[in-house]
A and B are shown apart, each in its own frame.
Chain A
Amino acid sequence: MTEARPAGESTRNLRRDKHVVALLGNPNTGKSTLFTALTGTRQKIANYPGVTVEAKVGHMQFENTELTVIDLPGTYSLAARSPDERVATEALLGRLDETPKPDGVILVVDASSLDRNLYLATQVLEFGLPSVIALTMVDVAKTRGITIDLEKLSRAIGCPVVAVNAPKGEGLHELKATLHKRLHHPAAPLSLEFPPEFVSAVDALHLKLADLGVTLGYTPTRPEALRLIVDAAGPLFEEAHEAGGSAFDEEFSKLRTQACGGKSAALIEAQARYGRISAWTREARTQEKIEGRTLTDRVDSILTHRLWGTLVFILVMGVIFQSIYTWASPLMDLIESGTKWVGDLVGSNMADGPLKGLIVDGVIGGAGGVLVFLPQILILFLFIAILEDLGYMSRAAFLMDRLMSRFGLTGRSFIPLLSSFACAIPGIMGARVIEDRNTRLTTIFLAPFMSCSARLPVYTVMIAAFVPDQKVLGFVSVQGLTLFAMYWVGVLAAIPTAIVLKKGILKSKITPFLLELPSYKMPRPKAIALTLFEKGGAFVKRAGTIILAVSVIVWALSYFPHSQEITDKWESEREKSSYPLKTGSKLVGEFGVGIYTFEAAAKLPEFQKALAEYKLIGVRYSERIAQIEGELEEGQREREIARAGEIRAEAYTGLQRDLGRYKFLAISEYADAEIWRDERLAEIDSAEAGEHLRNSYMGRMGRTIEPAVKPLGWDWRIAMAAIASFPAREVVIGTLGTIFNLSDADETSEPLRETLQKAKREGSDEKLFSLATGLSVMVFFALCCQCAATLAVMRRETNSWRWPLASFLYMTTLAYFGALVTYQIAHALGG
């Protein structure tokens, strides 16, 4: 191996040829595309705890060098304020444990806005790390008449500049080669012209830091002393303040005053940097005058137009919202039926008992409950990724900022909140685009207030059962109006919540809303696919484990103690249900000598054949009826139904003629007994499930809190359904079904609606549900945060249990009082 290497390469070098390179640049510069082009799709995500900022880590090879590349969050400056920027700065300086300290930097610089992009470059180059500038968007710059002489720019800056076009793969090899060379031959750090008193103050501070024993784990470098002077509130200052105490504070403020001499440190820094930048660009850039407006400007004059812009915006939002609803539902149905199929398959191969319940209802059911959100998340992120790539997201924020700022939010909060109407989970994850931490937390906190699609089944069932199907003003349906009102309940609760939060605990130092409006670009399918894969995977992994655990716990609470006594009691009922099929009837004697019972008769081929024919007549009739109802118009139906009835009667008469009257009656009696047994078995199953549930820990909880929910018009069964639906609120429908002894209830089934209508309060003849109770249940579910998945994602996004806990308690309290007020008012009005 060693012999094959070029001369001068020693084994010592071979071992050392592993480097860590940071990829740093402004947002919207094509940095992530470059990262993917350099490292391929095998990327790892590094999470920085406490800030939920992610950096991607990938690997690339050049000749004998292994390079680990860290894609740091996009930042405009090393003056760290937003969590993203703070991570970028800290990681660049190697001050974070999650990623290794970089020994080289690729600075991604957008040629179309060279000056602003070079600002960050001047900051980084001061640290003297081996760096290469990757110049992107050269073609965009060209359309604006900008030509950049790479040679001259490299020489002026003193750092190699390589033009790259990552989507086309151009310049990548040269970038790697230049970086490789640079890593072995570093250059001197950049030195800018600051005022002399500023320079001497920085030098003094640099020395003082060591004197005062401010070590930050190592002795701060001179560029760090400079950052300390200009960012007096940054993380460096906090640490230096910790380490140096009051002696440092005193010295620091003295030196800072001396450095700035009455001017602002930020102005001194900006002037020094932009001064140097304009010297660089004067030499290397030529700007041709281009007649006419740029494409972006022309598109923007429509997309941010008072009328057209607003219309396009509404259209785009409408399409997103609709797609989340409509595209997702077939996929969700597929996942649900898939889960059920797997559950049935596993269930049919396992003996009854707690283990089966745990696996089928707890684990498989829980996993299905996680996966079912995936289509909505992926669809939303598909849109966000496309719009972000296009550059439309910042325009949407531009359009909506005024409206959202009234509630203390920013334009960037709008899309996460809107998408929460489909599902709060993608909404909460989408809030990452908001820079300011407090505004982001407020947005996350508000997301579950938007009525998500999982609340819809609850509304649908309750409205169908208890809201009269009437019209007001001749055309407005009361049921539709109620549904509309339910969507507003959440919004109306969210507005004061936002205002209180932003005025109180989440008050931000009014963060500047400075937002770059980048030029429009074509979306990159590969990058979008990668993003979707990442987001989907992250959701399944992190939220999945928590939801699964909660589902298992809720299952256990509603399964145990599962008394054997109850099981035995219903087992004997099951046996009883087949008695009529075993006992005799004097009519069966017709089938032969010595046949006294149905049991004996059922074994005879003649009996079986006749029974099969008898049943077939019934089956054909039901099939025909289903066909008629599916195909024919209202008016034609009756005649056809009557006709089908006649055909059936004829068939029975024919059969009776063939068999003889008594045999026919025996068969019909037997068939009726079978139907009765099947109905009875279903009844027993649900009654048994109901009794076990009532006796379960969950059932006991429901009965314990019954006094508290009485003023809401609820009884223990509704209370229990509310508790059991903690993992996912749509579960409440199934739970209500089980509790009210229905074996198979889902939101469209007629029986559930009717059963709820008929349900009586225990020990009385009074109806349990009235309009008031129905409304109170709906308002409760509109306001509560009954969704383990949402809470789990909130935990992940805020990196603390504090927010999900606060959200759950706050929303449950709000839901309780909302339902209380609703019930009391509706009840008083006679509802």
Chain B
Amino acid sequence: MTPTVLSTLGVGRKARVLDVGGDAQLQQRLLEFGILPGVEVRLVRVAPLGDPIEIEVLGYNLSLRKNEAAHVHIEALP
């Protein structure tokens, strides 16, 4: 599986988080919400206007903008 970023994941696909970047504030926020290396995420849906996206992580649903999801490095799972 090639590493990529969360914003490019297809709807319904699952992925494992490899690394979380972004500025200090965004990074801390993402980590607190449970998006940290090793965690599995699933892309649930994309908003009708194309942004933001909804993901499932640690058993709950979270919405984030694509430019934020671009800082989450992942490897897509089959």
Which chain A residues have a beta carbon within 8 Å of chain B's beta carbons? 76-77, 79, 81, 112-116, 119, 144, 146, 233, 264, 266-267, 269-271, 274, 296-297, 300-301, 304-307, 309-310, 394, 397-399, 401-403, 405, 411, 509-519
Contacts and interface: CB of A to CB of B under 8 A. Distances in A.
A79 B28 contact: yes
A394 B63 contact: yes
Given A79-B28, A267-B31, A512-B26, A305 B48 contact: yes
A140 to B, nearest CB: 11
B49 A264 contact: no
Contacts of B45: 300-301, 304
B60 A116 contact: yes
Nearest to A285: B59
A144 B65 CA distance: 27
B33 A514 contact: yes
B34 interface: yes
Contacts, number: 125
B65 A401 contact: yes
Q: Which residue, A116, A297, A300, A405, has most C-beta atoms of chain B within 10 A?
A: A116
B54 A304 contact: yes
Contact of A304 (B24, B26, B28, B48): B48
Interface of B: 20, 23-34, 36-37, 39, 44-45, 47-52, 54, 58-65, 68
Contact of B64 (A264, A269, A399, A513): A513
Nearest to A403: B49
A517 B63 contact: yes
Contacts of A264: 24, 27
A112 B68 contact: no
A545 B22 CA distance: 47
Contact of B65 (A115, A116, A271, A513): A513
15 contacts: A81-B29, A233-B24, A264-B27, A266-B28, A266-B31, A269-B31, A270-B32, A309-B48, A397-B63, A399-B48, A401-B47, A513-B63, A514-B33, A514-B68, A517-B54
Nearest to A79: B28
B47 A399 contact: yes
A297 B55 CA distance: 12
A114 B36 contact: no
Contacts of B25: 81, 509, 511-512
A558 B65 CA distance: 54
Nearest to A274: B36
B29 to A, nearest CB: 5
Chain A contact residues: helix, strand, loop or mixed: helix
Contacts of A403: 49
B48 A310 contact: yes
A398 B63 contact: yes
A91 B58 CA distance: 29
A216 B76 CA distance: 48
Contact of A405 (B63, B64, B65): B65
A547 B64 CA distance: 41
Contacts of B27: 264, 266-267
Contacts of A266: 24, 27-28, 31-32
Given A270-B36, A402-B47, A516 B60 contact: yes
A307 B44 CA distance: 17
Contacts of A394: 63
B60 to A, nearest CB: 4
Contacts of B54: 300, 304, 398, 517
A112 B60 CA distance: 8
Contacts of B49: 399, 401-403
A617 B37 CA distance: 93
Contacts of B47: 304, 398-399, 401-402
Nearest to B28: A266
Nearest to B31: A270
**Which 3 pairs between the two chains have the least Cβ-Cβ distance?**
A270-B31, A113-B60, A402-B49
Given A116-B34, A514-B33, A402 B52 contact: yes
Contacts of A270: 28, 31-32, 36
A144 B60 CA distance: 11
Nearest to B19: A267
A360 B14 CA distance: 69
Contacts of B28: 79, 266, 270
Nearest to A123: B32
Contact of B59 (A114, A306, A398): A114
Nearest to A511: B25
A767 to B, nearest CB: 50
A519 B44 CA distance: 14
B34 A516 contact: no
Contact of A267 (B36, B39, B52, B60): B36
B64 A514 contact: yes
Contacts of B68: 512-514
